[in-house]
Amino acid sequence: MKVLVTDPLLPEGLEILKKAGLEVEERVGLSPEELKEAIREADGIIIRSGTKLTAEIIEAAERLKVIARAGTGLDNVDLEAASRRGIVVMNCPGGNTNSAAEHTLALMFAMARNVPQAMASLKAGRWERKKFLGRELMGKTLGIIGLGRIGSVVAERAQGLKMKVIAYDPYVTPERASEMGVELVSLDELYARSDIITVHVPLMKETYHLLNAESFAKMKDGVLVINCARGGIVDERALYEAMKSGKVAGAALDVFEKEPPDPDHPLFSLENFVCTPHLGASTLEAQKNVAVAAASQVVDFLVHGVVRNA
Ligand code: NAD
Ligand code: MLT
């Protein structure tokens, strides 16, 4: 049986597939047309966020039995099309939780202390100590939208920084939140009270452009906004307008609605905009975790007929 790997997967994962007697075809960076051709003969496919498995591509697969995401988000897989064909879809949600949470904190610190801008200025030969006056995180209110795996770790770490943490998550009980020392509030209250807002929800119909012009208008003047979850949760045009007007004092995006974004993306022209190219899960530790988990799950299913979701 053949497993197609279309996004980078560490050798630790590839070895597990090969040891189990599966043929591995690594084809990173395929165009949709090339992917349609390559998937035809595959029994399994392992992807990250770079591969879009649309209905058309899934329909082209003649033998596909399993799709495994070496990571969390399944928004790049047409789940309905996969279900129609009886294809099992798996992800490895826990393996990169800590890395994504730590990257969220990195973005928060970077914004609060102007780290990227100050570094660029210094490397350009300037010494601008006055320009880069930062702000402390201690005592500030952090509003977390989505108190799941990553949101909870961010909450715990932020409390260690002596921040007040409030959250909005309609699927978490107030009791569970209070066990974490987090106050559960409505979305409007979160907008009104937070100094920094970070989103950790999946991208779905309900969360597409969750942060939009209307929500920015409800936020505190000078709020900082972070999206280390999924592109499309924040309306980038509305964010640009809110930053231009000064309503939002800084924003940090790890993810974009279109990846990679166009080089002339309007947000890139703003000095108080911090960004990274979808690096939330890009640590050695997380990549090892998800490579091993995804490969083991595919082997369990294709070789032993067992469905497991780590
Ligand atoms: P999770 O499923 O554990 O948590 C998501 C939380 O969002 C849940 O508690 C759920 O109740 C809540 N939620 C759902 N709909 C909501 C809504 N409308 N409003 C408020 N809350 C809502 O997921 P996770 O593992 O914490 O991942 C969170 C996000 O981070 C996902 O979008 C995932 O794809 C993304 N992610 C990004 C990276 C990266 O590289 N930047 C890495 C890992 C995960
Ligand atoms: C995820 O959802 O797990 C992330 O996007 C991580 C990734 O695949 O890079």
Q: Ligand 2 in contact with 73 (CB < 6 A)?
A: yes
Catalytic residue among 48, 157, 200, 278: 278
Respond yes or no: is residue 230 known to be catalytic. Answer: yes
Closest protein CA for atom 9 of ligand 2: 281
Write out residues in the chain with pLDDT < 70, as ranges: 310
Task: Please give the pLDDT value at position 309.
Answer: 76
Tokens of 260: 């990679």
Task: Name the packing angle between helices 97-112 and 115-123 (round to 10°).
Answer: 60
Which ligand is closest to the CA of 203, given by its number? 1
120-178 pLDDT tens trace? 999 999 999 999 999 999 999 999 999 999 999 999 999 999 999 999 999 999 999 99
Cβ atoms of 22 and 8 within 8 Å: the answer is no
**Inter-axis angle of helices 97-112 and 149-160, to 10 degrees?**
50
Beta bridge partners of 252: 226, 274
Query: pLDDT tens, 225-236?
Result: 999 999 999 999
Burial class of residue 193, CB neighbours in 10 A (0-12, 13-18, 19+): middle
For the question of residue 285 being annotated catalytic, the response is no
The protein residue with its alpha carbon nearest to ligand 1, atom 25, reads 149
Contact of 206 with 181, CB cutoff 8 Å: no
Q: What is the pLDDT of residue 30?
A: 97
Ligand 2 atom, smallest distance to 91 CA: 3
278 is a catalytic site residue: yes
**Rounded CA separation 137/139 (Å):** 6
**Ligand 1 midpoint to CA 273 (Å):** 23
The continuous run of DSSP H or E covering 109 comes out as helix 97-112
